[in-house]
Amino acid sequence: MAIRSLSAALVLIGLGASGASAADISSTDLEAFRTAVHDAGCMLKTEADAHAIEQATGFSAEKLAQITGMMIANGEASVLTVAGNKHLTLNTGACAQ
């Protein structure tokens, strides 16, 4: 099942209202997220992809929301439209194109 809207994609990865703060996110947390997204193929396309990130990192939805928001804001991740579906993609490291 493809992620059909930006709002659905962001909800799936926890990018909604977040109670976590940047101070709650360590460099180790960021690296764990990057590794999980890389291992998932560098792009979250489906609900299963998003759940794989949750399981791989063990992070709460709030923490995933904060990390994802930080990465989008600093250009490390972006939301792309592919065939009418919204996907979250990692733009750095081994995932850089």
Q: Per residue in 13-66, pLDDT tens?
A: 544 444 445 667 999 999 999 999 999 999 988 878 888 898 999 988 788 878
The pLDDT value given to residue 4: 47
The terminus-to-terminus CA distance of the chain in angstroms comes to 25
Q: Give exposure, 21-42, as e/b (b: 16+ Cβ within 10 Å).
A: eeeebeeebeebbbebbeebeb
Check: CB of residue 84 under 8 Å from CB of residue 6: no
Bridge partners of 90? 77
The whole-angstrom separation of Cα 69 and Cα 34 is 13
pTM: 0.74
**Cβ contacts of 26 within 8 Å, gap of 6 or more:** none
The pLDDT value given to residue 17: 42
Domains of the chain and CATH, by start: 6-95 (1.10.10.10)
